[in-house]
Amino acid sequence: MDSTTLRTLQAPLKDRYRDAPDSAVITLKARGSLDDTGIACKVETGRALAVAGLHPATGGSGAELCSGDMLLEALVACAGVTLKAVATALEIELRAGTVSAEGDLDFRGTLGVDKGAPVGFRAIRLGFSLDTDAPQDKLDQLLKLTERYCVVFQTLNHKPELSVSAARG
C-alpha cells in the first residue's frame, strides 16, 4: 500500500471523527472461559481459541500461552502495524524489518513470596530493526510517531482507568 492509498482509505474516517467525535469511540472486547479441568483461561481471539495458563516460573507446564508473553506480543503487533502505517504515510521505504519486545518480571511478586516485589513487568523494552535507506532524521520521526500512535504502547505508558467486577453466573 502506498501513502496515497492509505490517505484515501483514512480520509473519510478522519472527516467523520472530526465532525462527530463520539463516532470515534468504540469499545473493544475480549472474552475468555474457565472450567474445572485446569488452571487455564480459554480466550476467544476471533480467529482461534488461545488457551492461557501458568508460566513455568509459577508452576505451569509451558503447554499453555503465558499472558505476559501475550501482552508483549500485542505490543509487538500494534507497534509493527503502527510503524508500517506511519512509514507509509511518511513515504519511508522499508524493505524489511523486525519488531521485538522484552520485559522483566520478578515472579516473587506474582507468587506472593515477597510483598515488596512488584506484580507485573518492571521494565519493557520495544525495539525495531529496519532495512531502509531513510536518513536518521526520518527514522527519528518514524519512531516518535510510532510511539505516539501505538495504542498498546500508549496504554502501557499512560495507565487507563481500570475496574474489576464479579457476579455469580
How do residues 44-91 score in pLDDT, each as one tens digit? 988 888 999 999 999 999 999 999 999 999 999 999 999 999 999 999
- State residue 169's pLDDT score: 82
Is the CB of residue 65 less than 8 Å from the CB of residue 51? yes
3-state secondary structure of 51: strand
Q: 19: alpha, beta or left, given left = phi > 0 and alpha = psi -120 to 50?
A: alpha
- State residue 138's pLDDT score: 97
- State residue 10's pLDDT score: 95
- State residue 102's pLDDT score: 97
Which pairs count as long-range contacts for 92-96, CB under 8 Å and 24+ apart, including other chains? 92/132, 92/134, 92/138, 92/139, 92/142, 93/132, 93/133, 93/134, 94/130, 94/131, 94/132, 95/131, 95/132, 96/130, 96/131
DSSP state at residue 113: S
Rounded to an integer, the average pLDDT of 131-147 is: 97
Rounded to an integer, the average pLDDT of 134-146 is: 97
Q: What is the dihedral of CA 149, 155, 159, 165, to 10 degrees?
A: 140
Q: Rounded to two decimals, what is the model's pTM? A: 0.91
Domains located in the chain, CATH noted: 3-157 (3.30.300.20)
Rounded to an integer, the average pLDDT of 20-28 is: 94
